[in-house]
Structure 1
Amino acid sequence: MSLKLEWVDERSDGAGAGESGWPALLERLLNEAGAAEGVADGIVTLTLTDNDGIRELNRQFRGLDKATDVLSFPMREQGSDELEILYEDDYETATIEIGPDGADEADEREADEAEDQTAGFGLIEELLGDIVISVPRMHEQAEEYGHSAERELGFLFVHGFLHLLGYDHGDEAAEREMFAKQEEILASAGLGR
């Protein structure tokens, strides 16, 4: 498995000029950020929207009736590396038989049964969460900060990705840590300041 980016464009006018390189840029950033944070597998969904679309989401989920630049919706439980999925078989107890040589014969049988049960089924990939970016706001901020649209898009994407992993900027120390990680990742991808 690997990190995968799913892409949704909700803008009524679709992709604009100069956006053809965005998918490759965002895939590269996802892999850079994943490597920096030790995340090798999972799916991130990115939705590109406009100011009205992100304003509605911001109002609905955060109670703030205003447009913003990026929103993140993590699927992981905070404080947990991985969600535990229990299947019916996980609740059954196993009888352990010890062979004449002291070996645990049940372990080998259970491994064979588990392999038989999963044959033909791929592993379920973890959904890390959704990132939503307002493209008009991203362009406004790129102009305001005097850098490229790609730099601002990368900044917002990495910012959103770190939120999916549980980072926040609620206080000064947390903000310094998160923004330092963002800049490290952006620099490694060639989008430094």
Structure 2
Amino acid sequence: MFNRQRQFSVKRTNLLDFARQLSARLGIRSGFTVVLMGDKAMRRYNRQFAGYDEATDVLSFPAREEQSDRAPDGEDYLGDILISVETADRQRRAGLDEELRVLVLHGVLHLLGHDHTADNGEMEKLEKQLKGEFSLS
């Protein structure tokens, strides 16, 4: 996990613990990276990779499905999740830490291949179930 923003205080250990618990719950054995950033950086990524010239809350970049894609330590690698802490703070319903956990959850589901724009509500249903299990709003 990388914290590339300084505007907000983020409890990295809480977020790392959540990522580990979520991975265990979903049976994920592959590694993934979470990068926390500000709106300016997120806007650049969103423009470059999604074609939208604005910041967004979360972007996910799944690793290719080939076996040759491995993390530097040799383990299987799932992909990268970018989160704008600024956007998360603006849209949060509860605390910032909880909103960041919700965005990690959302990003991980995308890394696993779920797509809420094309799956007839399956991702949304799973996300809602997992939010309930982890007491997230």
TM-score, normalisation: structure 1: 0.62
Using the TM superposition, give the Cα deviation of residue 8 of structure 1 relative to its aligned residue in structure 2, in angstroms. 1.3
Name the stretch that deviates more: 178-187 or 130-139.
Answer: 178-187
For the Cα contact (< 8 Å) 1:69–1:156, is it kept in 2?
Answer: yes
| SS at 2:67 equivalent | coil
Identical aligned pairs, as a percentage? 35
Counterparts of 1:67 and 1:15, CA distance in 2: 16
Equivalent residue for 1:126?
76
Using the TM superposition, give the Cα deviation of residue 172 of structure 1 relative to its aligned residue in structure 2, in angstroms. 6.2
Report how many residues are paired.
133
Equivalent residue for 2:2?
8
For 2:8, give the aligned amino acid.
Answer: G
Indicate yes or no: 2:26 matched with 1:42: no
Between structure 1 and structure 2, the one with the greater Rg is 1
Equivalent residue for 1:70?
58
For 2:110, give the aligned amino acid.
Answer: H
| SS at 2:42 equivalent | helix
Equivalent residue for 2:21?
32
Counterparts of 2:67 and 2:133, CA distance in 1: 33
Equivalent residue for 1:112?
none
Equivalent residue for 2:67?
84
Using the TM superposition, give the Cα deviation of residue 38 of structure 1 relative to its aligned residue in structure 2, in angstroms. 2.2
For 2:2, give the aligned amino acid.
Answer: V
* Deviation by residue 1:82-113 (Cα, 9 ceiling, x = unmatched): x334xxxxxxxxxxxxxxxxxxxxxxxxxxxx
What's the Cα RMSD here? 2.0
Equivalent residue for 1:149?
96
Residue among 21, 46, 54 paired with 2:42: 54
Equivalent residue for 1:23?
12
TM-score, normalisation: structure 2: 0.84
| SS at 2:113 equivalent | coil
* Deviation by residue 1:170-190 (Cα, 9 ceiling, x = unmatched): 1361xx221222233233233
For the Cα contact (< 8 Å) 1:29–1:158, is it kept in 2?
Answer: no
Q: Unaligned stretches of 5+ in structure 2?
A: none
